[in-house]
Structure 1
Amino acid sequence: GGAKYLFPGIAGPDIINFTHWLGALVTSMHTIGVKDTPTRRVIHRAADFLPIPLLCIAMVLKGHDLHGLYIGPHSEAFSAAADLSAQLNIITVDRPFNHVLSMPSTMYDDLWTAAKAMYKTEPAIADGGEVIIFAPHITEVSYTHGRLIDQVGYHVKDYFLKQWDRFKDIPGSILAHSTHVKGSGTYDLATNTETPRIQVTLATSIPAERCRRINLGYLDYRDINPQTWQGREQEGILVVPHAGEILYRAKNLSNTATKGPHRSISGGASTS
């Protein structure tokens, strides 16, 4: 919140693309849920150029309940609200999970908007683990940007950086979305080998062929019974209903790019 409603909020495409790509360079895991980031500093610096006073009204919610209201200069109101929000909307777990069934609500009608189901669970997933985005209602990657995403696919950031001449004309917001969804990892240009830290699998109504084309895993959502996943946290399995509202973070999670074998526990084989 805060000055983000201005920059990139109602600003032009240049700063929208710049700030999103800057966040991607830092990586989602080091940006989401972190108060002081390079992206936030750019946002506050941009707000300082405005020739009029800014008053920020920052509300802190958990679900639909109001827990805090901060009114004042944008940076101060944001800072106070972020501190309280971190207490209410971040769940820290002792050990990372191997399998996460992340279930975004129907208010997210494409993968572009439902991507928070990945962003907000990635920091709680072990190296070599898997997040399955379970959303049978989703039929489209992005109603607005689908053509570009089909062209680019989903990749770790090094895939783009090491082939920059190939991707330099793609808007930064598209590349940022791509690498945020794919997650952390490495890319070896010499061998054309991409090694994501975790597996991202779609259990949606997006067809298997398209999932393969955009470089994401696929599971038939009809083969998944979410009830059989419930209450298995001690087995390294987590179900997240209304995914995207709460950030999950594991203590001392390494940020390596090691990818182990993936075995689906949902009754179907994931395809990456």
Structure 2
Amino acid sequence: MSGIVCETIGGPHQQVGEEELDSLVARKLGEVPLDGKKVVLVIPDGTRSCPLPLLLRTMHRHLIDRVGELTAVIALGTHSYMEPDEIARMVGAGSAGDGLDPEAQVKAAYPGMRIVNHEWADPDMLVHVGTIPATRIAELSEGRLEQDAPIVINRHVVESDYAIVVGPVFPHEVVGISGGNKYFIPGVASQEFIDMTHWVGALITSYSIIGTTGITPVRAMINEGAALIPTTRLALCLVVQSGSGEIEAAAFGTAEDAWAASAEIAAETHVNYVDEPFQRVISCMPTRYEDIWTAAKGFYKLEPAVADGGEVVIYAPHVTEVSETHHEIYDIGYHCRDYFVKQWERFSDIHWGVLAHSTHLRGQGTYDADTGEERLRLRVTLATQIPREVCESINLGYLDPAEVDLEALAQEPGTVVIPNAGEILYRVR
């Protein structure tokens, strides 16, 4: 263990300036014996609101002259690999008109530091660090799952002396509140344990777990797996004003302590309470969500605040596909948890992470195995470039985005339009 004591600055709806952040980072890194060490920063991908250029510049400034080697690994989980131009934009490296190629832009902005994708599909870039026995998984998952869990982690992270998470925390559909060790698992892990944790979350249901600040069964599994990583794990966890990048709070400490401090603040600042449940919601998805696999957060964050029989519309006219990497979703479609659980022999061979995503976007419901009838609490409609026939084939509704008038919809009784959806959780008071 590092022996570092967690320190938090800012708080709910406060604002942390650059100088205050810089002072925190300098102070806390100064307490860690990093000289000559191999250090990895574990950073978010483009699906999170985060002033990443500021954070990376700050970390780079205080590390590059001390450490022996510095690498930033993008915690993709099983999201699509980011292209060089996407990485350059995300980390604020140069501009399109400066004549440099994206990789040169990154090198110029962060001399001496590599920024790489978590190559989750490349076995050579993954290392087995241990196995959680089935009996222990049964304890952690509160009886929902019992099988051995191999923990396989990104090689850069495993071979480092220090791995420092740098990223925001938000309410999350699988783990309760994101961040902390979640940047290691699923962030830089292999697909097998990612699938296991996501399926346990699906068995609990997003509706029940999202926004929970404590150690949920999924968080317990993640913490247990992360503890097997043979490097010192630290974290700079942030609570960020969604969409603006303004930092409300920052905590630096162990991956567990910094997360716990930030999760309490996120639960206060990133949850909006409404007096009456919504009948119809138009979730307007920012372009950082490039497919339904990620834009589905527009449903997860609204589901608890929508009345029985209501509707959530995912309005994302820029989206053209359900998933670039998980094509099985086109075959199985979107269904409630019990649809899969009660037909397990049909679906057990599908990646459990795909099944989990399916249930998370379809929400609560029931399935009668005798009659084959599925009853779903809410309607889910896509207003994207995905054609009507595809939407209907995967058990979702279709709305032509060209016919959507957001201003007019906002005036309709029973309809609410949510801008910049996907990060703020809505609940009924």
- TM score, norm. by length of structure 2: 0.56
In structure 1, the partner of 2:381 is: 201
Cα distance in 2 for residues equivalent to 1:46 and 1:166:
29
Alpha-carbon distance change, 220 to 240 in structure 1, aligned in 2, over 3 angstroms: same
2:217 equivalent in structure 1: 38
Q: Which residue of 2 aligns with 1:108?
A: 289
Structure 2 residue 340 is the aligned partner of structure 1 residue 160: yes
Secondary structure of the 2:312 match is strand
Please give the alpha-carbon distance, in whole angstroms, between the structure 2 residues aligned to 1:54 and 1:218: 45
Distance across 2 between alignment mates of 1:214 and 1:50: 38
Question: Any unmatched runs of 5+ in structure 2?
Answer: 1-178
- Equivalent residue number for residue 243 of structure 1: 421
- Deviation, 1:38, is 1.0
Number of residue pairs matched by the alignment:
248
Structure showing greater relative contact order (alpha-carbon pairs closer than 8 Å, 6 or more residues apart): 1
> How far apart, in 1, do the equivalents of 2:337 and 2:229 lie?
33
Q: Structure 1: how far apart are the matches of 2:237 and 2:217? A: 21
User: For residues 212 and 52 of structure 1, what CA distance do their matches in structure 2 show?
Assistant: 47
CA contact (8 A) 1:112 1:177 kept: yes
Q: 1:228 aligns with which of 400, 408, 416?
A: 408
Note the residue ranges of structure 1 that are not aligned, 5 or more in a row: 252-272
Partner of 1:124: 305
Equivalent residue letter for 2:398: Y
Is contact 1:202-1:219 (8 Å) kept?
A: yes
Q: Deviations over 1:41-80 (max 9, x none)?
A: 1111222233433222111111311111111122221111
Distance 2:277 2:265 in 1: 24
Shift of 1:231: 5.3
* Structure 1 residue aligned with 2:240: 61
Distance in 1, Cα, partners of 2:410 & 2:388: 26
Determine the structure 2 residue equivalent to 1:81: 262
Partners of 2:331 and 2:410 in 1: how far apart? 37
SS in structure 2 at match of 1:55? strand
Alpha-carbon distance in 2 for matches of 1:56, 1:212: 43
Task: Give secondary structure in 1 for the equivalent of 2:423.
Answer: coil
Q: Choose from 202, 205, 209 the match for 1:27.
A: 205
Give the Cα–Cα distance (whole angstroms) in 1 for the partners of residues 246 and 195 of structure 2: 33
Are residue 2 (structure 1) and residue 183 (structure 2) matched?
no
State how far apart, in whole Å, the 2-side matches of 1:223 and 1:8 are: 38
Deviations, residues 234-260 of structure 1 (Å, cap 9, x unaligned): x43211111102111113xxxxxxxxx
Give the partner amino acid of 1:121. L
Please tell me the residue identity of whatever aligns with 1:38: P
SS at match of 1:209: helix
Secondary structure, aligned partner of 1:75? helix
Q: CA deviation at 1:205?
A: 1.2
Report percent identity of matched pairs.
48
Contact 1:35 1:82 in 2 (8 A): yes
1:165-215 deviation digits (Å, cap 9, x = unpaired): 100000011001101011111011111111111000111111111111001
Whether contact under 8 Å (1:96, 1:236) holds in the other structure is no
CA distance in 1, matches of 2:199, 2:401: 32
Letter in 2 for 1:6: F
Counterpart amino acid of 1:132? V
| C-alpha contact 1:33 1:86 (8 A) present in aligned 2 | yes
Distance 2:241 2:411 in 1: 23
Aligned match for 2:360, one of 156, 180, 200 = 180
Whole-Å Cα distance in 1 between the matches of residues 368 and 427 of structure 2?
A: 28
Whether the 8 Å contact between 1:156 and 1:184 is mirrored in structure 2 is yes
How far apart, CA to CA, are the structure 2 residues paired with 1:52 and 1:20?
25
Mark the structure with the bigger radius of gyration: 2
Partners of 1:85 and 1:74 lie apart in 2 by: 16
Q: SS at 2:229's partner residue?
A: coil
Aligned alpha-carbon RMSD (Å): 1.3
Number of the residue aligned with 2:226: 47
Q: Please identify runs of 4+ aligned residues in structure 1 that moved more than 6 A.
A: none
User: 1:222 Cα deviation (Å)?
Assistant: 2.3
Q: What is the TM-score normalised by the length of structure 1? A: 0.88
